[in-house]
Homo-oligomer: A and B are copies of this chain.
Amino acid sequence: MRIAQVAPLYESVPPKLYGGTERVVSYLTEELVRLGHDVTLFASGDSETEARLVPACDRALWRDPNCRETLPHHVRLMELVFREARNFDVIHFHCDYLHFPYLRRHATPGVTTLHGRVNPHDLQPLFEEYGETPLVSISDDQRRPLPGANWQATLYHGLPRGLHTFRKHGGDYLLFVGRISPEKRLDRAIEIAHKTDRQLKVAAKIYDEDLAYYRNSIEPLLRESKSFVEFIGEVGGKDKDELMGNAYALLFPIDWPEPFGLVIIESLACGTPVIAWNNGSVPEVLVDDETGFVVDTIEDAVKAVPRVARLSRQTCRREFERRFDVTRMARNYLEVYSRLIDGVAPHSVLSSGDMEATIWPTLSHIA
């Protein structure tokens, strides 16, 4: 199959450090190549891949100090993709919805994985207009605000098996990995560590827009908790693997409907159970009292901490291998691609010089 993967240009594929979407695009792309497919990756020029790379800009936009507007680059990305559209059997988009109007007017089937939170107020009118555009959700919870869209499947993210080392025994510390933004609730993690008399390690990234929050709310907290909280900053690679693998448990105390927390399955891949708030994809990804605990309050989280010791780290790893492995993800996407390719006959665009909309038949929902 000739497959195009279209990544956003904010980070490289894979990203140098943080970048959930770009990481998943990387894992999927490399696995599809490994499975023998002819893959073209549209991404930033500093990406690394076994696929054929079409660079849509020199370097990742968020790594480029001279970049002030990201949209021009993504508009040009559209030109690059659709100029070659007829060379692909299917095009898989990971860059939100900029491509919807073009996709409607092309014969090549396309599917779009939505990676972020679906904000119905802004997306509803657009998604109603493009009701025929095939979509993939990354959790059932993610699609709830737009139930009528043309969802092809919920496909959970997957990671390469070798990415994280399974460790039979964890250590004693609690772990918080992610972004320091208000909805991630690092303050809850600190409180839980305090109340259970455990050390908390914090491997976190502070984005520019979170600086005010960090300075006003988190920095004071870290200062007064420094006897038991160690702030590490951004980690990747081997350091992250060790940090996660040696943890007693990962804390994921979010108070927003995160569509899919990659950090959860990274933790499971190490064998480290997860204590997470009951939001977003959490109840779909974790199995309560098996791979972690799904809680609603600080009290419940505090009660869950000692109970982690009774869980099997082996079970966590097995769950990762069974449900969140990259080969499983790639094969699921290949099924979606095949259905799209088979299910749709090419329509010809009117030749009057106008771009009449070519409406794709709505494919039935596949669970």
A347 within 8 A of B: yes
A227 within 8 A of B: no
Chain B neighbourhood of A101, CB < 8 A? 75, 78-79, 82, 102
Complex: A130 Cα to B83 Cα, angstroms: 13
A310 within 8 A of B: no
Complex: A73 Cα to B96 Cα, angstroms: 13
Which residues, 332 to 357 on A, are CB-close (under 8 Å) to B?
A: 346-355, 357
A123 within 8 A of B: yes
Q: Which stretch, A33-41, A61-69, A246-254, touches the partner chain B?
A: A61-69
A359 within 8 A of B: no
B75 and A97: CB pair below 8 A? yes
**Contact A86-B351, Cβ < 8 Å, known A101-B75, A121-B68, A123-B69:** no
Number of copies: 2
Which residues, 95 to 140 on A, are CB-close (under 8 Å) to B?
A: 96-98, 100-102, 105-107, 119, 121-123, 125-126, 129-130
Complex: A69 Cα to B71 Cα, angstroms: 13
**Contact A352-B348, Cβ < 8 Å, known A75-B126, A122-B68, A125-B73:** yes
B353 and A346: CB pair below 8 A? yes
A86 and B354: CB pair below 8 A? yes
Complex: A353 Cα to B105 Cα, angstroms: 8
**Contact A354-B85, Cβ < 8 Å, known A69-B123, A72-B125, A122-B73:** yes
A76 within 8 A of B: yes
CB A107 to nearest CB in B, in angstroms, measures: 4
A57 within 8 A of B: yes
Chain B neighbourhood of A70, CB < 8 A? 122
Size class of the contact patch on chain A: 35 or more
Complex: A212 Cα to B212 Cα, angstroms: 10
Which residues, 132 to 150 on A, are CB-close (under 8 Å) to B?
A: none
Which residues, 296 to 352 on A, are CB-close (under 8 Å) to B?
A: 346-352
Chain B neighbourhood of A348, CB < 8 A? 351-353
A347 and B355: CB pair below 8 A? no
B354 and A72: CB pair below 8 A? no
Chain B neighbourhood of A106, CB < 8 A? 353-355
Question: Of the candidates B73, B346, B351, which one forms a contact with A351 in the assembled complex, judged by CB atoms under 8 Å apart?
Answer: B351
Closest to A212 in B: B212
Complex: A123 Cα to B76 Cα, angstroms: 10
Chain B neighbourhood of A105, CB < 8 A? 355
Complex: A204 Cα to B352 Cα, angstroms: 51
Contact with B along A236-258 (1 / 0, CB 8 A): 00000000000000000000000
List, sorted by A's number, 25 A–B pairs whose CB atoms are closer than 8 Å.
A66-B121, A67-B121, A68-B119, A69-B122, A71-B97, A71-B98, A72-B122, A73-B125, A75-B97, A75-B126, A76-B125, A76-B129, A79-B130, A82-B101, A83-B357, A85-B355, A86-B353, A102-B355, A107-B353, A348-B351, A348-B352, A349-B351, A349-B353, A349-B354, A351-B351
- Residues of A with Cβ closer than 8 Å to B? 57, 66-73, 75-76, 78-79, 82-83, 85-86, 96-98, 100-102, 105-107, 119, 121-123, 125-126, 129-130, 212, 346-355, 357
